[in-house]
Amino acid sequence: MDTIYVLIPILIAIFIYTVDLVIKNLASYYTKLVYYVSGELKFEMQFKDSKLNGITKTYYKSGKLMAETSFVDGVANGIQKSYYESGPLDFECIYKDNKIDGLKKVYYETGQLWYELTYVNDEKHGTFKEYYESGELKIEMPYVNDKMHGIVKYFDETGSCTEIEYDNGVIKIPNMTENLE
């Protein structure tokens, strides 16, 4: 009797693999669904010629949408969005050739913008801006080639600002000998 319990998952896996091969051979476009062990839908993937093409969706066990990513010829290209299980957008970014390339925005669960930053070829490039949940600016940090470069501004909740200068990722310390003369 114990042998049957061991064989059933193996037979199911062989059946799914065989069906998957038949589907791949019958059509160049198909949708593949992957489920949690408990039966809930986990992934919904679009394929063309055995490569991801179209929107791939990932789901929480609750059935709610977790993420959606656009693929072209097996490579992430286009918009990726991720959601909190409660429903609101968690983040959105643009992919080009499997790398973040464009503006990335991340949100608080309330829907308020948390931070935003532009990427070029998967590297930070542009001004990182972080916000308090109230919507007020918290940090403004310039990046060049994935390194902080320029004046970084830190704002407290009253709007008071502290500035620190960076040069190619290194804090610039004012020349102390100038003050000694």
CA distance 67 to 79: 11
**pLDDT given at position 51:** 92
Asked whether the predicted pLDDT for residue 19 surpasses 70, the reply is no
User: So what's the pLDDT on residue 96?
Assistant: 96
Task: Give the model confidence (pLDDT) of 83-117 as tens digits.
Answer: 999 999 999 999 999 999 999 999 999 999 999 99
Quote the CA–CA distance of 27 and 101 in Å, as a whole number.
Answer: 32
Whether the per-residue pLDDT at 10 is higher than 90: the answer is no
At which residue do the structure tokens 């003050």 appear? 179
Query: Is 50 exceeded by the pLDDT of residue 179?
Result: no
How does residue 180 score in pLDDT terms, banded at 50, 70 and 90? very low
Rounded percentage of the chain residues whose pLDDT exceeds 70: 81
CB atoms closer than 10 angstroms to residue 146:
14
Under 8 Å CB-to-CB from 130, ≥6 apart: which residues? 114, 115, 137, 138, 139, 141
Helix (H) or strand (E) holding 45: strand 41-48
Q: How far apart are CA 166 and CA 164, in angstroms?
A: 7
Which residues, other chains included, contact 78 with Cβ-Cβ below 8 Å and sequence gap of 6+?
69, 70, 71, 72, 94, 95
Tens digit of pLDDT for each residue in 117-157?
999 999 999 999 999 999 999 999 999 999 999 999 999 99
